[in-house]
Amino acid sequence: MALKTVEWKNNSVIMIDQTKLPSSLEYVTYTDYNQVADAIRTLVVRGAPAIGISGAFGLALAALQSDAKEKDQLIQDLETAQKTLLKTRPTAVNLAWGLEKIMSVAKSEKTVGQIRVSIVEVAKQMAEDDIQINMSIGKNGSKLFSKNDTIMTHCNAGALATVGYGTALGVIRATKESGKNIKVIATETRPVQQGSRLTAFELKHDGIDVSLIPDTAVGYTMANGLVNGVIVGADRILRTGHVFNKIGTYQVATMAKQHNIPFYVAAPLSTFDMKNNPEDVIIEQRKASEVTGIGDKKTAPDGINVINPAFDMTPPELIAGIITEKGVAKAPFEESIKKLFQAN
Ligand code: MRU
């Protein structure tokens, strides 16, 4: 059975608690938007599309929690919730996208009753659409890979990073479903280990051949002919084709270029930020303990200085293509990305 990361049921939000994986598959149920904000902050739910939809569901909870009798009061309550949800994580643009979409629905309705009904309906529809969009990304991306290819991926851009199916792992699923037998190499993705905890878990769960490597073996596997292509997800893509994704993506892309291996990015149009420039994007800095230990085990001396950025930027010249639900953008990216939006 395919994993469903986040879902709306009986006026509550149900999520897989990803901090518990791979040891146990547990679900949490939230009825308060503050709980959803905490879940995003603490990585109970993570991955750009998944936090976008969680944000939308968070606002749906806020609408149900509010005792406002007038539209203006309800909009004010929703704006308070929007601020709380938005400040949880700064890099993935999908969070702002999900929140803004729900706020515009709220503002377009006339009565508090209509606002509550519409927000819940639209948020549920966004979750359904996410799966369909990922399947389209998968179909578009599957044409780029051949039978018996081994594809490297970094972090987790799978069902667990979306509502279901995944972006980068969606392409891998669709390639396999199209009859091409492929294998996957997953990087461990220190410090939070989304590769070993989540990608390896998810692919193994779905019966896809996956080998786990330490991040330090990216060069070795590429230099020894073990990799035919790379595919990763994204947290934010600029109109110029600059891609913000999990820390280490830039190293993988640079190494792929060195070995003439195509490096692809898979993401929905909701991951594009057409307004900002590279210097405007905030890279989330996370706590030192993620680096000074693995799980509960300490692996560094007390008091050591730590630099722990959660994301990095890959420049367009390292990217062979950006796979979206509307097609594949290739260099020159500024033109091809614009065309994707015109096709929308
Ligand atoms: O810190 P995380 O686990 O939220 O980071 C996730 C990533 O970097 C993913 O690659 C990205 O969000 C794309 S998910 C389809």
Alpha carbon separation from 68 to 62, 74, 75, 112, 281 (Å, rounded): 11, 5, 9, 8, 35
* Residue nearest (by alpha carbon) to ligand 1 atom 10: 233
* Ligand 1 mean position, distance from CA 58 (Å): 19
18 lines ligand 1 (CB under 6 A): no
Of 66, 295, 265, 307, residue with least CA distance to 167: 265
Atom of ligand 1 nearest to the CA of 266: 15
164 lines ligand 1 (CB under 6 A): no
Helices in 143-193 by DSSP H: which ranges? 168-177
Left (φ > 0), alpha (ψ -120 to 50) or beta: where does 328 sit?
beta
Q: Quote the tokens at residue 258.
A: 């060195």
Q: Quote the tokens at residue 120.
A: 């819940």
194 lines ligand 1 (CB under 6 A): yes
Q: Give the type of residue at 330.
A: K
* Ligand 1 mean position, distance from CA 66 (Å): 31
Model confidence, pTM: 0.97
**Dihedral sign for Cα atoms in the order 71, 77, 83, 88:** negative
* Ligand 1 mean position, distance from CA 5 (Å): 13
Q: What is the pLDDT of residue 343?
A: 79
Q: Quote the tokens at residue 194.
A: 């989304």
* Residue nearest (by alpha carbon) to ligand 1 atom 6: 47
Residue 76 CA to residue 103 CA, distance in Å, equals 11
Helix (H, G, I), strand (E, B) or coil at 254: helix
49 lines ligand 1 (CB under 6 A): yes
253 lines ligand 1 (CB under 6 A): no
Catalytic residue, chosen from 77, 130, 215, 235, is 235
Atom of ligand 1 nearest to the CA of 271: 13
Which residues of the chain fall below pLDDT 50? none
DSSP string of 89-124, one letter each residue: -SS-HHHHHHHHHHHHHHHH-SSHHHHHHHHHHHHH
Q: Pick from 189, 197, 245 the residue to mutate for probing ligand 1's pocket: most ligand atoms within 8 Å of its CB.
A: 245
Tens digit of each residue's pLDDT (9 = 90 or more) over 158-211: 999 999 999 999 999 999 999 999 999 999 999 999 999 999 999 999 899 999
* Ligand 1 mean position, distance from CA 257 (Å): 22
* Ligand 1 mean position, distance from CA 110 (Å): 37
Name the DSSP letter for residue 197: I
Residues 6+ apart with CB under 8 A from 104: none
Alpha carbon separation from 170 to 105, 138, 160, 260, 290 (Å, rounded): 29, 5, 11, 24, 28
Are 121 and 8 in contact by the 8 Å Cβ rule? The answer is: no
Residues 6+ apart with CB under 8 A from 98: 51, 52, 53, 54, 55, 56, 126, 270
**235 classed as catalytic:** yes
Let me know how many helices (H) and strands (E) the chain has, helices first. 12, 16
